[in-house]
Structure 1
Amino acid sequence: MSGRGVLVVGASSPIGAAIGRAFQASGDRTVGVALERYPGTGYDYPLVLDCTTAAGAGIAVRTTVEVVGRLDVVVLAAAAMPVGPITATTDEQWRTAINATLGTAFAVSRAALPVLPDGAAIVAVSSVNAFLAAPGVPAYAAAKAGLEGLVRQLALEYGPGGIRVNAVAPGMIGDTIENGAAGYPLGRTGTPDEVAAAVHFLAHAGFVTGVTLPVDGGLSIASPAAFLRADLRDRWLT
């Protein structure tokens, strides 16, 4: 089905821009929201709003309905990732990470659900850090784990109304660091367009709800021993 109204919050990131392009390519009309001005690539209507607040989230939803005429898909792609151990994470960094990811998802979902029709979809962009621990990202990991809990809760409560709620969990995306693909069974990191394709799929998958789909090149299914033990890694690569 094309011609839907799509709202993407967190539109200024490479993944956000790719999501907008994916929906545009299938004939949908897109509204993108970010905290600062950004190139409108991928979006028919780029907006600058703070959607951690009820006021900002309400404006985003109302604007989409007004300029597009309908709202069928909401993509929650906003996030912030302070890096450092928890003992070095400030109160402000913690609040920023939680509010950017989980606060935005809460505010936008609360504003959008009353106007979403039967057959609508919400897709959140989570991360493998929600379920695979990595050093230095306690606030980000907690926010993404909370996001996945919210996804399941909304899927359960609003499924009877025909509204599906799912998430994607990207691994390393667009990284060019040497050896950055170590541990990825596909032998490489991902691209924003590949994450966007998964988001687009979940927006269409009519009998899928309440799931988190890893978009991680197989990272989450690999035993750490497979790439930490030299003998196993050599066996894998040869």
Structure 2
Amino acid sequence: MELKLTAKKILVTGGSRGIGRGIVLGLARAGADVVTCYRTEGEAVTSLARELKETGGDHHLVRADVSDPADVDDLIERCRASYGSLDAVVHNAGVISHVPFAELPFEEWQRVVNNNLGGPYLVTQRALPLLSEGGSIVFVGSRVATVGIPLRAHYTATKAGLVGLTRSLAKELGPRGIRVNVVAPGPIQTEEPTPPPVLERYQKMIPLGRLGEVEDVAGVVGFLASDLSRFVNGETINVDGGI
């Protein structure tokens, strides 16, 4: 069996950096046409556009804040105008901060919840008319959803919320032939360098002896976006090296 996404039309939120960038490029290289969004202009967006052009396909980069309903409406309209329909929606956009719970301002709680949980709500709801039978919705969650981590109560709560959202939508949208799943990465090495002490600690905790790579996550997302996973629904797949 070979992972093929030829002719698939896929929306990926938050695709200019880190895991999201790896997902966008992985899907495009597997043959999919991809629309992705980003919040801030910069070299990351410029270089991604260049890489996608070199990859080939009908790809689009759109500036959009997934916590803003108007921006989400514009993003979905771009998908409709470009493709007519969507085969998969991948929710990667999100924010994080590190704040002791006793000192966590309500405004920061709202910011993280509105982005990490409100964004998937808005994008999923508005994208539904474009998704037909066989469609796939993939939420990029986090391994911390089930284990917790200090200073990130707000972030962890949103990632745990995605698991509940997935279970409910899998049952509600399943009769329409739409699958809904979560990919939950563990420690992943992105373009941001990992401090040596942190790297050493994770290497001891992870049986495979290394941090994950963005391609490790992208491969699982590609599987869930493909027809190979047509009977996988309502699941959380940990990509954590067995930590």
**CA–CA distance in structure 2, aligned partners of residues 114 and 65 of structure 1:** 10
| 1:216 aligned onto 2:240 | yes
The two structures, once aligned, show a CA RMSD in angstroms of 1.4
Letter in 2 for 1:216: D
Map 1:89-128; keep pairs closer than 5 Å: 89-128=104-143
CA drift of 1:93 comes to: 1.4
* Aligned with 1:53 (options 65, 68, 75): 68
Letter in 2 for 1:15: I
CA drift of 1:193 comes to: 1.0
Q: Which runs of 5+ in 2 are unaligned?
A: 53-58
CA drift of 1:182 comes to: 2.6
> Partner of 2:213 in structure 1?
191
Contact 1:5 1:69 (8 Å CA) reproduced: no
- Rg (Cα) greater in structure: 1
**CA–CA distance in structure 2, aligned partners of residues 187 and 177 of structure 1:** 16
Q: Deviations over 1:52-96 (max 9, x none)?
A: 132222221121121133211100001111102101221121111
| 1:157 aligned onto 2:172 | yes
Map 1:200-215; keep pairs closer than 5 Å: 200-204=222-226, 205-215=229-239
Letter in 1 for 2:238: P
**CA–CA distance in structure 2, aligned partners of residues 36 and 176 of structure 1:** 23
TM-score (norm: length of structure 2): 0.86
Contact 2:38 2:65 (8 Å CA) reproduced: yes
Map 1:24-173; keep pairs closer than 5 Å: 24-37=28-41, 38-39=45-46, 40-41=48-49, 43=52, 44-173=59-188
**CA–CA distance in structure 2, aligned partners of residues 171 and 69 of structure 1:** 35
Point out which structure has higher relative CO (alpha carbons under 8 A, 6+ apart): 2
Contact 1:54 1:111 (8 Å CA) reproduced: no
Q: Which runs of 5+ in 1 are unaligned?
A: 220-238
| 1:182 aligned onto 2:204 | yes
Which of 82-91 and 204-213 deviates more? 82-91
CA drift of 1:177 comes to: 2.8
Letter in 1 for 2:145: A
Contact 2:95 2:115 (8 Å CA) reproduced: yes
**CA–CA distance in structure 2, aligned partners of residues 89 and 46 of structure 1:** 34
| 1:21 aligned onto 2:25 | yes
Contact 2:170 2:181 (8 Å CA) reproduced: yes
Structure 1 runs, 4 residues or longer, greater than 4 Å off = none
Q: Secondary structure at the match of 1:15?
A: helix
Q: Secondary structure at the match of 1:176?
A: coil
**CA–CA distance in structure 2, aligned partners of residues 48 and 17 of structure 1:** 15
**CA–CA distance in structure 1, aligned partners of residues 212 and 9 of structure 2:** 27
**Aligned residues with identical type, % of pairs:** 36
CA drift of 1:123 comes to: 0.4
